[in-house]
Amino acid sequence: MKFLDKLKFKSSSKTIQVKNNLNRSSIYSIPVNGLDGRPISLSDFKGKYVLFVNVASKCGFTPQYKELQSLQTEFQNKLVVVGLPCNQFANQESDDAAKIQSFCERNFGVTFPLSEKLHVKGSKQHPLYQWLTKKELNGKSNSSVKWNFQKYLINEKGEFVDFFYSITKPNSSKITKYLK
């Protein structure tokens, strides 16, 4: 992702403007591992919107897994949902990788990628969530993750679009308007 800075220099009686492209970290270069420990290459999702969602198996919002899978199925040519298990909110994702995978497949038919458990806030915050929550990295907005099932939408060019709190359902027009 490139951002434009204009630098002004005075040379005798003229002001010269120089355009300087600064490279900020690309979301596609951030390493993320799947539940199986193998890398998930975010660059594989170039050309599609990506909805990143911190998920948990024992949360009041857990039924959103079904809606996330439905969204993934409906917009499969335009969107990839990525579930990111997190145990930072009331110990609601304490299971190991195998149990998380089994739970998601058995109860909600989840086929979208799931990452290994990661931290979405605090001193151990995963680099993906650093990018998602810091304007200096994503170029658009600061935020903090308030609870499980908070959603972050990235466009097909890898640019930050917006974030949505847990109460926003995956099939909400707040999200789907970008996909239609």
Average pLDDT over the chain, rounded to an integer: 89
- In the chain, domain spans: 25-176
Give rounded-to-5 percent helix, strand, coil for the chain.
Answer: 25, 30, 45
The CATH architecture annotation of domain 25-176 reads 3-Layer(aba) Sandwich (3.40)
Q: What is the pLDDT of residues 16-35, one digit of tens each?
A: 333 333 346 799 999 999 99
Nearest residue to 120 via CA among 157, 99, 145, 154: 145
Tokens (6 digits) for 131: 């990018």
Nearest residue to 101 via CA among 170, 55, 154: 55
Q: What pLDDT does residue 24 have?
A: 62
Catalytic residues: 59
Is pLDDT of 118 > 70?
yes
- Say what the pTM is: 0.86
